[in-house]
Structure 1
């Protein structure tokens, strides 16, 4: 246990050192919000990878894989599909060179679209941050079961994340992600074959589990697979945190190059995560982890290497540390992004347009603290990470991704249509748990993604076509 404590302590100190090292480079609004638009492709690759793969994959996706096998790749596969289109969006986003997605919404549509966009982002991003706190709390409880409860662990992780994020903004987040991305990718790729060997080889893993664990459908229908696939795909294509990384790139070329590395890293790492969870299902089919399957990756790190020689025990500790660091990294990204909205899209835009860089930095750090506390409050009432993830993904997928893609690719989209689309997508998702029981069974039993997305798209297309061509503004500049 001392080995695990040492590894976690070393990671925390390293992350703190990286944040403090970047602090001296943060002097202006652009430095804090978009790292002075200075990030090279190599750094972008790992900050994109680290921001995307967090508790949604490490807990929610792993839980799904532990229970159902490789069918869990439908959730990851949504992101892979989204990445293909992002390759073409990235240079356009860097050329636009703003600070946030609501900047884009106002430039392409109007102020109302900006404000509604901020609301949807706050709902989505604080929800995603909240289950990062859950994941980190679970890991601390596994390592220190007699000292730290899962709830206390959430408070501790929230403090870490708030401090790390507030120190140096995007510059801090990006360079911490570089360290974490390298650590996580290397450690997980080494841990998988070691765990398979402990299980007796891949044939033994296959023999220990139902055949359905090794198919891509299991007992899920096509509709259920799409309910996993679409929210992830659409969130990724419209993800503000991703666009902020593109806004932070040195150049359009760096943004496009980073996407290629991101595609490769995401496919490899998410496949490895699912494979580790499936192997863990064979190694630990019963016991405490079977009652909390979202902890399977951390459980493998803690117990999967305990009977092996010294180097393998170190690998187990590093696997636990890498998962812990990935959760912190993802929480940093998803917490920092909505804080920039409150600073750039509310404070600077409406409250104090003439604010000095010093005031902006103070307000930015204050927003990180307030939103971090809100995310912590949400985490205390969350039971299922997978359900919370799909809820958060759906808000963004239905409310923002359609109008963001239309801003880049459909010049006919109008301001009125964008406002209607964002409002309807948000309301349907948030209200679905109350509305669904009163709907026909064939609809009411479905997740919110299809009704919310269809309603949003109908509003976007129908209102655009009903508006005059002159209602579409500044499409030439952005598309």
Structure 2
């Protein structure tokens, strides 16, 4: 009962916070970028809570259950992507755009902007969908007794998670989630620091884990090298690397910073924070997996471990924090496409003169609509793949389609609008058809097709189109996005 009580109190507090903050939301800037008022410390907290979501708590942790110690290399891709962002964060705050498609449109024009909206919404709906599934999985575990029966079905638990996430996002947008993210980040970090030695002792240390893994035929779980093939490493590390460099959540938070220097400082701190918490999550999952022979429980290894292996109070805190992180991530990945549709579609093509009150109302309605679409996607994905697989697929859609052109907008003056459009189309199409179209198997060698996921061919096609077509078309009139205030269609003086 203590687990359910802790989570219920937390969810109630979140809704109350949202109601309180919603009264202060007067403009789209308030709703989407917290009035551009976030300090570096608040900024790093909200970026950490957004990045370390279900992909880490259930995705990477689940892969640690499957493969063991070798999973410690999984955060490398994301960390390297965040390191690249340290060179971009200040520039994003300087140009004062709300959305990634706005940035792309300023550099490449309206066609690239619209295509990036499509790719972003597709990818983010998949990401939100598995946040819903994760929230439902936590609630279902909490409500399950030792005999394996629960007072609510998994589907009902997921529906509750959906309702809370949508309501919380609709109420106050980024301004409500940013400050609770700081608390979530601190509590999550402290919880794992305390839980690690407890789990290690419970598992019997290194020797106890060796014996447990050997007894269940999982001897390779104690090995770091030789577990993943070269293709595995590329398939696992490249998608989060690409997502981190182009994640619209990060760019929206850069825009929410009070200053450009604050955005850069927060991103540098984020590199170290991500390393610490990701390693703690995977280590906890690896240690716990030695005590969980049942793969059905191992699928949600950290949820099960918090419920079964930790002292009740600590377990309740861990589970509550997981719920908080899942809600925060889902909130962010709902807010970004809602803001994007408002700024890059509604204000561009439907009603450019809409007043702030209408914009805020429509932003909330877009959150509701997108949230329901993501729920439909979540029902289709519920049993079709692991959280890890879902995360990699969503990261690839976004990273292959948008990241190359987005990064080039800041660093490569020769990139052209035609090259960017071709890059976005190529990255999206190759991701969608690689495993689905029968003709791909006829033209690609079997060994490559069986071992290579969508990410490598998709990013290769995207970059090839961007570079080759840019070099074959006339030089653009715009430069890289270094100056504030650049609007779509404007050029910087040469």
Contact 1:58 1:273 in 2 (8 A): yes
Of 443, 448, 451, the residue aligned with 2:448 is 443
Q: Does 1:284 align with 2:292?
A: yes
Which of 262, 269, 274 in structure 2 is aligned with 1:261? 269
Q: How big is the shift at 1:79?
A: 0.5
- Select between 201-210 and 57-66 the one with higher mean Cα deviation: 201-210
**C-alpha displacement of 1:147:** 1.6
Q: Take 1:374 and 1:217, find their aligned partners in 2: how far apart are those partners?
A: 41
Question: Equivalents in 2 of 1:427, 1:114: separation in Å?
Answer: 17
* Matched-pair contact (CA < 8 Å) for 1:238–1:400: yes
TM-score by length of 1: 0.95
Counterpart CA distance in 2 for 1:122 and 1:216 is 37
Give 1:474 deviation, angstroms.
4.3
Q: Does the 8 A contact of 2:410 with 2:482 survive in 1?
A: no
SS at match of 1:71: helix
The question of whether the paired residues in 1 share the 8 Å contact of 2:196 and 2:284 is answered with: yes
Once the two structures are superposed, what CA deviation does each residue of 1:310-346 show, in whole Å capped at 9, x if it has no partner? xx21001111111121111111111111111111111
Task: Confirm whether residue 216 of structure 1 aligns to residue 221 of structure 2.
Answer: no
> What displacement does 1:254 show?
0.9
1:217/1:336 Cα in 2 relative to 1: closer, same or farther (>3 Å)?
Answer: farther
The equivalent of 1:421 in structure 2 is: 423
2:461 maps to which of 455, 460, 465? 455
Q: Give the 5 Å matches for 1:15-164.
A: 15-145=14-144, 146-164=150-168
Tell me the alpha carbon deviations over residues 106-138 of structure 1, each in whole angstroms, 9 at most, x when there is no partner.
100000111000000001111001001111111
Higher helix share: 1
Q: Distance in 2 between matches of 1:176 and 1:346?
A: 30
Aligned residue for 1:196? 200
Q: For 2:178 and 2:201, locate their aligned partners in 1 and report how far apart those are by CA, in whole Å.
A: 35
Per-residue deviation, residues 256-313 of structure 1 (Å, max 9, x unmatched)? 1111221121111111111111111111223xxx2242311000111113xxxxxx21
Q: Is 116-125 or 180-189 further displaced after alignment?
A: 180-189
What does the per-residue CA deviation read over 1:224-250, in whole Å, with 9 as the maximum and x for residues that have no partner? 111100001010000000000000000
Selected match of 1:237 from 245, 262, 280:
245
Q: How far apart are the structure 2 equivalents of 1:253 and 1:215?
A: 42
Structure 1 unmatched ranges of 5 or more: 306-311
Distance, in Å, in 1 between the alignment partners of 2:122 and 2:364 is 19
Unmatched runs of 5 consecutive residues or more in structure 2:
145-149, 485-494
| CA distance in structure 2 between the aligned counterparts of 1:261 and 1:207, rounded to whole angstroms | 39
Q: Distance in 2 between matches of 1:427 and 1:103?
A: 22
Is contact 1:140–1:148 with CA below 8 Å preserved after alignment?
Answer: no
Deviations 1:183-205 (A, max 9, x none): 22221221111111111234422
Give the Å deviation of 1:208.
Answer: 2.8
Relative to 1, partners in 2 of residues 1:459 and 1:225: Cα closer, same or farther, differing over 3 Å?
same
Are 2:136 and 2:154, in contact at CA under 8 Å, matched by a contact in 1? yes
TM-score (norm 2): 0.92
Deviation sequence 1:397-420 (CA, Å, 0-9, x none): 110110011000000000000000
Alpha-carbon distance in 1 for matches of 2:226, 2:18 = 44
Q: Per the alignment, in what secondary structure is the counterpart of residue 318 of structure 1?
A: helix
- More deviation, 386-395/357-366: 386-395
The answer for the alignment partner of 1:358 in structure 2 is 357
